[in-house]
């Protein structure tokens, strides 16, 4: 009798779960953002959200959880119920790099369900107008003349900007001093105000200010030039053939998110990324839209976890 009761309960639970997935979404969805407002994630998330909302039939609420190198937002997502109402737009740093440098309360593979890729691109090496270097070669010359004296900002420890800077220092055999911020927005505010001379910034944070002439673009770390700022050369063009440091942004949910819900969100995401207005908005801030299946995104995450594990070890990146 007890066995039959147990089976009945299990069947009821499975039916309830299937019913919930079929009715998803039936209430607003919270999209966790691991950085402060005003950064590159904001610039891509907002137009994407506008297109995804009618496709899903529910409002998407941006929920900012900055701090701890964007790991607070990741932890909130990892701890949430796997019901599709807590999603996270996450990037390379907190997903596949930071866990190799800092102790975090989540596993980059086991704690999340990959849903889809949003976009990818390089990092912009930018400077305040008063900074004496007007080119990457100038920067390298200054840094070699005064090792460790030049400070550069990033969105946080072990983020994509930090790792790009570490790779450039190895390639150029120079030493500059890292200043970690709680997001790309605050870092750019300090660069614009002249409080820091140099920044390794996300494209989303840097492109508009390079276009306006408020900051100087010294180089980009992608393999090819960025159409939004074609005048800024790549690091590879400037004496370091093969140099590339790129980042991606993707959508994830908590672990064990039902496949039916993952499929619905991925379909809405990829349809939104097919919209010309969304594509233009993403390209205007220096990234390339990258719609893929959940399986392909999961493979990218697995590959990058191993790739950045090796880079962190070779660059000897440690907590500051």
User: Residue 2 has what pLDDT?
Assistant: 59
| Cβ-contact 182, 73 below 8 angstroms | no
Mean pLDDT of 99-127: 96
| Cβ-contact 170, 315 below 8 angstroms | yes
Buried b / exposed e over 38-73, threshold 16 CB at 10 Å, is ebbbbbbbebbbebbbebbebebeebbbbebbbbbb
User: Residue 121 has what pLDDT?
Assistant: 94
Whether 283 has a pLDDT exceeding 90, the answer reads yes
Name the fold adopted by 122-220: D-Maltodextrin-Binding Protein; domain 2 (3.40.190)
Structural domain boundaries in the chain: 27-120+247-315, 122-220
pTM over 0.85: no
Mean pLDDT of 10-21: 53
Residues 157-186: pLDDT tens digits? 898 999 999 999 999 999 999 999 988 889
In whole angstroms, what is the distance from residue 301 CA to residue 113 CA? 11
User: Residue 6 has what pLDDT?
Assistant: 56
In whole angstroms, what is the distance from residue 203 CA to residue 247 CA? 10
User: Residue 20 has what pLDDT?
Assistant: 62
Whether 269 has a pLDDT exceeding 80, the answer reads yes
Looking from the CA of 257 toward its CB, the CA atoms found within 13 Å total 30
User: Residue 3 has what pLDDT?
Assistant: 62
DSSP H/E element including 290: none
Mean pLDDT of 19-33: 90
Whether 320 has a pLDDT exceeding 80, the answer reads no
Q: Considering only 7-11, 65-69, 236-240, 283-287, which range has the smallest mean pLDDT? A: 7-11
Confidence label for 13 from pLDDT (cuts 50, 70 and 90) = very low
Instruction: Give 108's DSSP letter.
Output: T
Residues 196-251: pLDDT tens digits? 999 999 998 899 999 999 999 999 999 999 999 999 999 999 999 999 999 999 99
User: Residue 69 has what pLDDT?
Assistant: 84
User: Residue 18 has what pLDDT?
Assistant: 55
Task: Please check whether the two domains, 27-120+247-315 and 122-220, share a CATH topology.
Answer: yes
CATH top-level class for 27-120+247-315?
A: alpha beta
């Amino acid at each position: 009798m007890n066995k039959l009761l147990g089976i009945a309960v299990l069947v009821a639970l499975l039916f309830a779960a299937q019913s919930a997935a079929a009715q998803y979404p039936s209430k607003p969805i919270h999209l966790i953002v691991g950085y402060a407002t005003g950064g590159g994630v904001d610039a891509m998330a907002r137009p994407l959200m506008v297109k995804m909302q009618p496709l899903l039939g529910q409002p998407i609420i941006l929920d900012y959880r900055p701090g701890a190198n964007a790991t607070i937002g990741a932890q909130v997502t990892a701890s949430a119920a796997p019901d599709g109402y807590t999603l996270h737009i996450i990037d390379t740093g907190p997903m596949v790099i930071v866990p190799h440098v800092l102790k975090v309360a989540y596993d980059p593979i086991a704690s999340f369900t990959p849903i889809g890729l949003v976009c990818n691109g390089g990092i912009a090496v930018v400077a305040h107008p008063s900074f004496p270097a007007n080119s990457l070669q100038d920067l390298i010359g200054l840094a070699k003349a005064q090792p460790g004296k030049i400070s550069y900002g990033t969105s946080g420890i072990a983020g994509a900007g930090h790792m790009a800077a570490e790779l450039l220092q190895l390639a150029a055999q120079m030493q500059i001093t890292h200043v970690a911020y709680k997001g790309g927005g605050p870092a750019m505010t300090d660069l614009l105000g002249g409080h820091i001379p140099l920044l390794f910034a996300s494209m989303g944070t840097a492109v508009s200010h390079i276009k306006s002439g408020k900051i100087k673009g010294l180089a980009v770390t992608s393999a090819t030039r960025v159409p939004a700022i074609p005048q800024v050369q790549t690091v590879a063009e400037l004496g370091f053939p093969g140099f590339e440091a790129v980042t991606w942004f993707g959508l994830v949910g908590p672990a064990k998110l039902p496949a039916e819900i993952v499929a619905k969100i991925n379909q809405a995401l990829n349809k939104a990324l097919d919209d010309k207005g969304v594509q233009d908005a993403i390209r205007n801030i220096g990234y390339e839209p990258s719609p893929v299946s959940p399986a392909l995104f999961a493979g990218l995450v697995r590959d990058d976890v191993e790739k950045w594990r090796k880079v962190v070890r070779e660059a000897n990146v440690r907590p500051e």
